[in-house]
Amino acid sequence: MESQQKASQLRKRVVFGLGIGVSVGAVVLAGGWVFTVALAAAVFIGAREYFELVRSRGITAGMTPPPRFVSRVCSVICALMPILTWYFGHIDVSVTSAAFFVAIALLLQRGNPRFSQLSSTMFGLFYVGYLPCFWVKLRGLAAPALNTRVGARWPILLGGPAHWTVGLVATLIAISSIIAADTYAFLGGKAFGRTPLTNISPKKTWEGTIVGLGGCIATSVILSKIFNWPTSVLSAIPLGFLTFLGSVFGDLTESMIKRDAGVKDSGSLIPGHGGILDRVDSYIFTGALVYSFVKTILPLYGV
């Protein structure tokens, strides 16, 4: 019975994993409002999961959670952030204003306001609201990806070669590299894992992490050759390295939250995979790192 349950669980993971992968690929290719609205929906669900984790028995044993009405309002604010980023091109003023009014609501609430309420709420706005907005900024980079063979053959009805921008290519490389990092780290840990990486996530090992790093960088380099962007291996290697760092620390951050909450998964939305945060934790910090690299470092290479 136990082996049958494990096999059934594995089938669920594979089926839903493939479905998610195909859906995400289509959304990334579409870009624009399709990508933004899909991201906003994921952010809203992720924000609800985060604030439920904050209210969980494990975390509230050492702190006072924010009131439920504040959590709900913050979830809506987080979902609006990607849409505002796509519409205005920036989000800083909106985030600052939202944080200010949320802080006022917490400080003026009845009873005895606590710093833990303020800190957990502000971190939630940053973690599940502000950081995902960098994926919108990354996907929205409109500079053409020159010499991309895939783009040269892209159908006119789907946008033609102009559809293949730096934003699209960079987003595809980053997402693919994250998937490779997770996959290779898992396989490497199973095959060679001996030394625990951190107490936050006991199943992660240094051996698996090193294999994951190699797989992530290799994927970044291979895809850069396929897409002819970035044109230099000296650019593709640090891009893969930064992607891996964002992936690992995003995963560890969510593991730390779940450990303090005393739960295995952030939710049960996706059969065999847990909640939204369990699937996207590796992406939360990565978008900001990749966007900053593309905007700041790549121009120094003349790319």
Q: What is the pTM of this model?
A: 0.91
In this prediction, residues 49-60 reach a mean pLDDT of: 84
Terminal alpha carbon distance of the chain: 56
d(CA 99, CA 78) in angstroms, rounded, equals 11
- Confidence check: pLDDT of 41 > 70: yes
Q: What is the DSSP letter of 205?
A: B
Out of 25-39, 63-77, 139-153, 250-264, the most confident range is 25-39
The SS3 assignment for 274 reads: strand
* 153-201 residue pLDDT tens: 888 877 888 889 999 999 999 999 999 999 999 899 988 888 998 888 8
Q: Which range has the worst mean pLDDT, 61-70, 126-135, 289-298?
A: 61-70
What's the chain's average pLDDT?
87
Q: Where are the domains of the chain?
A: 31-140, 143-303
Q: What is the pLDDT of residue 302?
A: 53
Q: Which range has the worst mean pLDDT, 15-19, 140-144, 191-195?
A: 15-19
* 203-254 residue pLDDT tens: 899 999 999 999 999 999 999 999 989 888 889 999 999 999 999 999 999 9
Q: What is the pLDDT of residue 68?
A: 87
For 249-259, letters b (16+ CB in 10 Å) and e give bbbbbbbebbb
